Amino acid sequence: MNTGNPLRVAICARLSQAAEESVSIARQIEACEAIAKARGWTVVQTEAEEDVSGSKKSPK
């Protein structure tokens, strides 16, 4: 339950492999920041994972 304090959120952007239809990490972060701002949320941390397998957590 929100007691009136802004929700604190973290952003995690991920790009497992470069492809034409992929959205860059920078664009993912910008989109998430815009959503957070529109909803009154406070972004407290931003992480980026590039070329990391989601199942193995190791570089490809």
Check residue 1 and give its pLDDT: 52
Of residues 54 and 36, more confidently modeled: 36
- From the list 54, 41, 58, the residue with the least C-alpha distance to 15 is 54
Check residue 32 and give its pLDDT: 97
Does 33 score more than 70 pLDDT? yes
For residues 25-40, give the mean pLDDT.
Answer: 96
- The CA dihedral of 38, 17, 19, 29, to the nearest 10 degrees, is 10
